[in-house]
């Protein structure tokens, strides 16, 4: 009987990911550190890094200086440069609340892409639940070549384009966050005039290039700077990469409109004629 090796690390473990050839794995911890392990040397880690510490040494004195890394993936690419994607790990602005509270109660709203020493940080609009990379191959090997990251947020789904400069997000073809600001009033309009809903779509399309759900910052060799080629008012020009499924049958022969008022003073218009979901077409 072969007993598998056991590895030990003093910081709380949140996530790990195997090397694509099964030679080892990386682990993500509460101190904002990523540890690389080799199966042939399980007693000692190959490396311990704190990606967001910059030129500083790995923080040993306090596990609260950086956010916990809650999820991590380790991927190869065709050019031979490995990619590590993780949620969390950023430097904390305030430590008091974390030290006094339970670490498990705190969430992160950032995704980091690390290629060598280069970091690209995407700040999301809502806390991250989990994420997964989308690859050309379902098998993790040298040809998997990731092209996007699907990030599930508490109130949204964001897809990040890995093939475009600055990692812009894809424009969601069916966004629906009716409670982006708390709803204070709601009005249902049925059997709208035939030209009303198309008119709202025409007006709403003018603001379609609104701010993307992720904003990129690049950090290279510990020096943080604004990402080149990334504009907060533009989406990726590539097609939405997720497909599949079928639309249900719409039994309504008339148009339906829902108007919501929100705590931030905005009024939003939703097309409810689809039967499956609401489609926003005009915020004001």
Domain boundaries, the chain: 1-163
Distance between CA 116 and CA 179 in Å, rounded? 39
Distance between CA 150 and CA 158 in Å, rounded? 6
Comparing 25-29, 99-103, 159-163, 164-168, the range with the smallest average pLDDT is 99-103
pLDDT above 50 for 211: no
Distance between CA 94 and CA 107 in Å, rounded? 14
Average pLDDT, the chain: 77
Comparing 15-19, 171-175, 214-218, 273-277, the range with the smallest average pLDDT is 214-218
φ, ψ for residue 51 (rounded to 5)? -55, -35
Mean pLDDT in residue range 91-107: 58
Using 50, 70 and 90 to split pLDDT, how confident is the model at 97? very low
Which two tokens mark 230? 């990334």
Using 50, 70 and 90 to split pLDDT, how confident is the model at 111? very high
Edge to edge, what strands does the sheet with 279-283 contain? 183-190, 256-262, 267-271, 279-283
pLDDT above 90 for 246: no
Predicted model pTM: 0.70
| End-to-end Cα spacing for the chain | 68
CATH fold of the domain at 1-163: Methylamine Dehydrogenase; Chain H (2.130.10)
Give the chain's length.
284
Per-residue pLDDT at 41: 86
Per-residue pLDDT at 107: 74
Task: Give every CB contact of residue 143 below 8 A, 6+ residues apart in sequence.
Answer: 78, 136, 137
pLDDT above 80 for 218: no
């Amino acid at each position: 009987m072969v007993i598998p090796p056991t590895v030990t690390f003093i910081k709380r473990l949140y996530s790990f990911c195997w090397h694509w050839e099964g030679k080892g794995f990386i682990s993500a911890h509460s101190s904002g550190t990523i540890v690389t392990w080799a199966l042939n040397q399980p007693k000692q880690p190959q490396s311990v890094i704190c990606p967001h510490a910059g030129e500083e040494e790995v923080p040993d004195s306090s596990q609260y200086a950086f956010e916990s890394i809650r999820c991590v993936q380790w991927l190869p690419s065709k050019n031979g440069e490995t990619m590590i994607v993780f949620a969390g790990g950023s430097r904390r602005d305030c430590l008091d609340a974390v030290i006094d509270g339970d670490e498990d109660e705190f969430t992160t709203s950032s995704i980091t892409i690390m290629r060598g020493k280069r970091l690209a940080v995407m700040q999301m609009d809502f806390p991250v639940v989990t994420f997964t990379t989308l690859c050309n191959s379902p098998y993790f090997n040298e040809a998997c070549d990731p092209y996007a990251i699907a990030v599930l947020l508490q109130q949204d789904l964001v897809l990040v384009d890995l093939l475009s400069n600055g990692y812009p997000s894809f424009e969601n073809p069916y966004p629906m966050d009716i409670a982006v600001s708390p709803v204070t009033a709601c009005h249902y309009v049925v059997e709208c005039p035939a030209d009303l809903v198309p008119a709202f779509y025409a007006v709403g399309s003018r603001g379609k290039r609104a701010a993307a759900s992720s904003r990129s910052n690049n950090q290279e060799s510990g020096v943080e700077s604004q990402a080149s080629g990334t504009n907060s008012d533009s989406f990726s020009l590539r097609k939405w990469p997720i497909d599949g499924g079928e639309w249900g049958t719409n039994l309504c022969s008339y148009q339906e409109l829902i108007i919501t008022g929100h705590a931030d003073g905005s009024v939003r218009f939703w097309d409810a004629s689809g039967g499956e979901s609401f489609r926003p077409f005009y915020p004001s």
